[in-house]
Structure 1
């Protein structure tokens, strides 16, 4: 029996590694070439460490059980005692099962940032997994629970009977903590593995030739002092303002034939202004959304960041600005704003008169065509934790209808039907076929073979949302509000369909993800030209343009610049810290991307000659790459310095 147990212990990690190396050819080809693949060994080391953590946890809890009075372990109590152990082993085994897949396909390894984020959003992670692949999630969970139970039965009692001294337990506890710490921080990889490169920026923020400038506080001298705000009076005219942030709305939808967005296209080509080169600030919503409402870049730290309620650097939101100008303000969202703690900066009672998100919704937050568990597994839970957008728009309509002054309100919205796996409302049209994804497509990880089906599903979701927005506009017209309203439609990100080997967003910042649909419909009496705007702009600039159109002074804390003001072109910056750690800038026609995790890479593209970003010119155009890289490094350095201490963000406005 001892031999059987030892074989089981050894076979699980060996099988894990054998399968991993067998399927790693694609990883080696992309990231190693003909060279010896150190990165592959580091991923293997992480997998082994995760198995070591499993065995240490098993052994330690068995030791703990051995020291309990025997009376406690009689009857049903041993099984009750082992339940936490089974759950712990389940979590660790699931980590093992994902370690190779994510590592080999995307170079994605756990980190302390990721663990902290998962713990903070623990209640919402299962919803997300069930939303995208319910059958696989439930099946994997049951399989791992059974495996965990088998491991407990095999090893728990024998280890408990070993009667190890307390010193042995403490030694193993120290080993387990050390191994798990190494697993999360990967110090063993510091010499070769490029995932650590991102942390180098904490130590070297500028190239050596600029180091003296840091010592001489040259960066601080570039900051603009924060002056007392002048009294704010009521802006001229009464114009309702409606700003709709739409999940994953690609810029090229307006050029798709046949168009999935007839209403938005007619608006952009008629009374609206379409921004052809508008860029999001990040590839994931928990950065991009708040950045838009505050007109602030999400570069505050190199670590994964959230939104503390007491942050002295929060700045002025568009809601606060409009409230100070006498507007009634509202924020109505289909998503759960607890995600990433965004709610801390969005639900500020002194600035937002009415706040509503999915936690306030009392109806179903998911839809499926079948009933019960079987229907859920067959169809997938499309919008777990989110409100279906037609319901959100009805809530917004009722809020506007109840306002005493319908001429002077500011409404911010966040719509989510266009998030994977793309919600089709009950009775919604499905003109793009085939479009049934099934229940096995995981967000970001679905195979390229599904791209036609997934894209069609996306287009159907976009098409139905376009119809809902048209109906919402009709309600505004019925109240005689539409003509005088300032309406802004912004995609918070784009959406990828394997143009660069991945789906959805939250990953690399190529144009299919970062260049989004943006349209502004000014009030009827505005003299702005109704035309396509061709300059490269950031979403932060769109936010700053809202008060500019209304004749208000743009807050000094806004990092965006009104697009219709003179001043010439300037770089558009971006920063993501989700499935990749990456920074970038667009200084048209050049686009520079610097990746720090999961591998080091610099990319330079000429977006006029190469709009698909296929030919990396970082080596051929080394002078341009170096110049833009210096600009990007300086941008990073100024932001890290600004947010590093109250002496900076308390005295100055953020870097422009």
Structure 2
């Protein structure tokens, strides 16, 4: 009991010290710190007793061996070190995440991190090398304290006094808990008081007291409170009310082999174009003049866009790469459940990858990427017997057939110069129609370009130690210019890549599709980076489709990452594939609404975009936001509190919930996976005016 009491006491000291040092935790909430601050502390104190018990039992086993059997000593020492490392690094990781994103780790986020620990370390280095090293040293130091702490306690002390001391400490916590009743906070959200609107700051203008308290408990009270509540949290998304005439269809499963057999005959009489998809990390629409940009950042891409079909209201399917990238290649919505999805090695649900279909249609196929595709298990989704060549930043050995020099990675990323050289050499070696997907990463924070490059927009600056997800406001203009310089660098690489294709005579036979995986925030809504809230600056990205014999055109309707795969089939003259949930917009089909998803450690949110509105649903708070983007493109005026009873808004809300409900139901029912594809949606009550392709409009 004495050891448990000591560990418990030290856990409390660490929690209080970090809370006061970092700030913005529940105990410092401006609304409730005076009234409920001690209760928030006690909730975390009670939950912190769980690891204290584990550490105490492991330490007792190690330091109170009755025999000196070497095997028992080895096992007990290993167990104590393992427990100490887990507890220490769990705390370090929690406070590191809280420092960057303002919330503690939930259960599904912990599983997500555990699936790619080395890649997590690489991402942490992107944020801050010094901060990452500090957290690692802190975790190791605290682990050593946990392990050697029992040996520092005087062993000659009276055993009875130890037990009394430990018992007294536990009794103090128990008595304080009984007096203050901290868990009574849980009851407030469902009480009459919890339904009152929380006044004051604008960001809380449509938040109830109960919603705000739930948010504090879920995200900002402490590491163990967030973990326990996320494990026990059973509240699903609200159910749709069927106020609109939704239609959902489940197409029968069709294998890539069966689909490809019919296409080989088509290509005997039809020209088979090569297909090149290029995804640029974090590409905002305002970096191109045709989307309203004020300066020419990417001149080569602008030149290509003037010859292409451009989509001016294109949305990434998600605000983070592990969802957005997959939807480009699969044509499916990245929403499987209410928790973060890590792609498993084997799945029961279909994976309708575009390259599988083209491989069975006579193409050679490749994925060539500068990023580590292990992030979130993406590689598990991509790997296929129909993929002829796969290179990514964690598979440097696979570069040897097309690149013979040593490759030096930067924070887990492969240089885009290497990636494009590998792609160029692979393409040059092809003697039949090919498909390749290329992912470029220089435009990921800290926005890479060679030190010797002349910077057209920014100035030299030290970006080490800055918080990628919460950049200092006074430095955002300079960081924004650095971002533009990295885009300009990627544009130079793209220009050389396209020139080589042209010189090889392969560009005239190739469809080239360029988009961003996501976009990037620069403080428009109080945060920076991506993998967070689904505002336009994070999810709206250009889409450019170049086809040699296609006239330039502009599409002003909604488009979505899931529409890219269906449009590839259309451009090749192939029939639609029933496994795609997206639309082939080039053939007059239109998208009435587009769903967006964020399920990252920083945010869990879904949204629905139409020609006029954008509706958000926040899983953490259980709240909505509504913006009229036709009048308020900056998404600053939240209309939900005033407009949620209007029939058109109820239809909008019901459509979002119906979409999410059907997605969860399908992926949760394994019996459907072998016979049917994911659902396709049509909502006739939400029809927007058709916006077919029209003559190309020159940049302003």
What secondary structure does 1:399 align onto?
helix
Q: 1:240–1:49: structure 2 CA closer, same or farther, 3 Å change rule?
A: farther
2:301 corresponds in structure 1 to: 264
> How far is the alpha carbon of 1:99 from its aligned partner?
4.4
Taking the aligned partners of 1:489 and 1:316, their CA distance within structure 2 comes to 21
Do residues 297 (structure 1) and 319 (structure 2) align? no
Q: 1:56–1:219: structure 2 CA closer, same or farther, 3 Å change rule?
A: farther
What secondary structure does 2:477 align onto?
helix
Q: How does 1:33-182 map to 2 (within 5 A)?
A: 34=31, 44=41, 47-48=44-45, 51-53=48-50, 55-69=52-66, 71=68, 85=80, 88-89=83-84, 91-96=86-91, 99=94, 102=97, 106=101, 108-158=103-153
Taking the aligned partners of 1:199 and 1:53, their CA distance within structure 2 comes to 15
Do residues 398 (structure 1) and 431 (structure 2) align? no
2:393 corresponds in structure 1 to: 358
What secondary structure does 2:467 align onto?
coil
> How far is the alpha carbon of 1:479 from its aligned partner?
1.0
Q: 1:385–1:318: structure 2 CA closer, same or farther, 3 Å change rule?
A: same
**Could you tell me which of 598, 601, 606 is aligned with 2:628?**
606
Taking the aligned partners of 1:188 and 1:348, their CA distance within structure 2 comes to 52
1:519 corresponds in structure 2 to: 544
Taking the aligned partners of 1:198 and 1:151, their CA distance within structure 2 comes to 26
Q: How does 1:182-261 map to 2 (within 5 A)?
A: 191=187, 192=189, 193-194=214-215, 195=218, 203=236, 206-207=239-240, 209=241, 222-226=249-253, 229=258, 231-234=261-264, 235=267, 236-255=270-289, 256-261=293-298
Identify which range, 424-433 or 608-617, moves more after superposition. 424-433
> How far is the alpha carbon of 1:387 from its aligned partner?
0.6
> How far is the alpha carbon of 1:144 from its aligned partner?
4.2
Identify which range, 601-610 or 422-431, moves more after superposition. 422-431
Deviations 1:181-238 (A, max 9, x none): xxxxx9998654144799978656524x559x9xxxx999743344685542233103
Taking the aligned partners of 1:104 and 1:119, their CA distance within structure 2 comes to 20
Taking the aligned partners of 2:73 and 2:156, their CA distance within structure 1 comes to 13
Taking the aligned partners of 1:637 and 1:37, their CA distance within structure 2 comes to 40
The answer to whether the Cα contact below 8 Å between 2:583 and 2:589 also exists between their aligned partners in 1 is: no
1:447 corresponds in structure 2 to: 472
> How far is the alpha carbon of 1:110 from its aligned partner?
2.0
Q: 1:587–1:41: structure 2 CA closer, same or farther, 3 Å change rule?
A: farther
1:486 corresponds in structure 2 to: 511
Q: 1:137–1:410: structure 2 CA closer, same or farther, 3 Å change rule?
A: same
The answer to whether the Cα contact below 8 Å between 1:330 and 1:352 also exists between their aligned partners in 2 is: yes
Q: 1:79–1:222: structure 2 CA closer, same or farther, 3 Å change rule?
A: closer
Q: For this pair of structures, how many residues does the alignment match?
A: 605
The TM-score with structure 1 as length reference comes to 0.82
Taking the aligned partners of 1:572 and 1:287, their CA distance within structure 2 comes to 15
Deviations 1:372-411 (A, max 9, x none): xxxxxxxxxxx32221111100001111122233xx1111
> How far is the alpha carbon of 1:63 from its aligned partner?
0.7
> How far is the alpha carbon of 1:336 from its aligned partner?
1.4
* Unaligned runs of at least 5 residues, structure 1: 176-185, 368-382
The answer to whether the Cα contact below 8 Å between 1:233 and 1:325 also exists between their aligned partners in 2 is: yes
Identify which range, 621-630 or 147-156, moves more after superposition. 147-156
1:631 corresponds in structure 2 to: 655
1:183 corresponds in structure 2 to: none
Taking the aligned partners of 2:329 and 2:39, their CA distance within structure 1 comes to 40
2:313 corresponds in structure 1 to: 277
Q: 1:243–1:439: structure 2 CA closer, same or farther, 3 Å change rule?
A: same
Q: 1:219–1:563: structure 2 CA closer, same or farther, 3 Å change rule?
A: closer
Identify which range, 259-268 or 461-470, moves more after superposition. 259-268
> How far is the alpha carbon of 1:536 from its aligned partner?
1.0
2:199 corresponds in structure 1 to: none
> How far is the alpha carbon of 1:279 from its aligned partner?
0.6
> How far is the alpha carbon of 1:313 from its aligned partner?
1.8
What secondary structure does 2:576 align onto?
coil
The answer to whether the Cα contact below 8 Å between 1:435 and 1:453 also exists between their aligned partners in 2 is: no
Taking the aligned partners of 1:642 and 1:38, their CA distance within structure 2 comes to 45
Identify which range, 61-70 or 451-460, moves more after superposition. 61-70
What secondary structure does 1:292 align onto?
helix
Identify which range, 196-205 or 250-259, moves more after superposition. 196-205
The answer to whether the Cα contact below 8 Å between 1:62 and 1:159 also exists between their aligned partners in 2 is: no
Q: How does 1:555-570 map to 2 (within 5 A)?
A: 555-570=577-592
> How far is the alpha carbon of 1:461 from its aligned partner?
1.2
* Unaligned runs of at least 5 residues, structure 2: 171-181, 190-213, 219-228, 398-404, 681-700
> How far is the alpha carbon of 1:321 from its aligned partner?
1.4
> How far is the alpha carbon of 1:310 from its aligned partner?
3.1
Q: 1:617–1:299: structure 2 CA closer, same or farther, 3 Å change rule?
A: same
> How far is the alpha carbon of 1:102 from its aligned partner?
5.0
Taking the aligned partners of 1:428 and 1:317, their CA distance within structure 2 comes to 38
Q: 1:533–1:90: structure 2 CA closer, same or farther, 3 Å change rule?
A: same
Identify which range, 136-145 or 610-619, moves more after superposition. 136-145
> How far is the alpha carbon of 1:278 from its aligned partner?
0.6
Taking the aligned partners of 1:630 and 1:199, their CA distance within structure 2 comes to 27
RMSD: 3.9
Identify which range, 108-117 or 426-435, moves more after superposition. 426-435
What secondary structure does 1:620 align onto?
helix
What secondary structure does 1:130 align onto?
helix
Taking the aligned partners of 1:199 and 1:72, their CA distance within structure 2 comes to 41
1:376 corresponds in structure 2 to: none
What secondary structure does 2:533 align onto?
coil
What secondary structure does 2:679 align onto?
coil
Taking the aligned partners of 2:156 and 2:567, their CA distance within structure 1 comes to 72
Q: 1:122–1:396: structure 2 CA closer, same or farther, 3 Å change rule?
A: same
Q: 1:112–1:26: structure 2 CA closer, same or farther, 3 Å change rule?
A: closer
Do residues 388 (structure 1) and 415 (structure 2) align? yes
Deviations 1:313-366 (A, max 9, x none): 2232110111122111111111111221111221202x2111111122256665
What secondary structure does 1:564 align onto?
helix
Taking the aligned partners of 1:455 and 1:282, their CA distance within structure 2 comes to 22
> How far is the alpha carbon of 1:480 from its aligned partner?
1.4
What secondary structure does 1:224 align onto?
coil
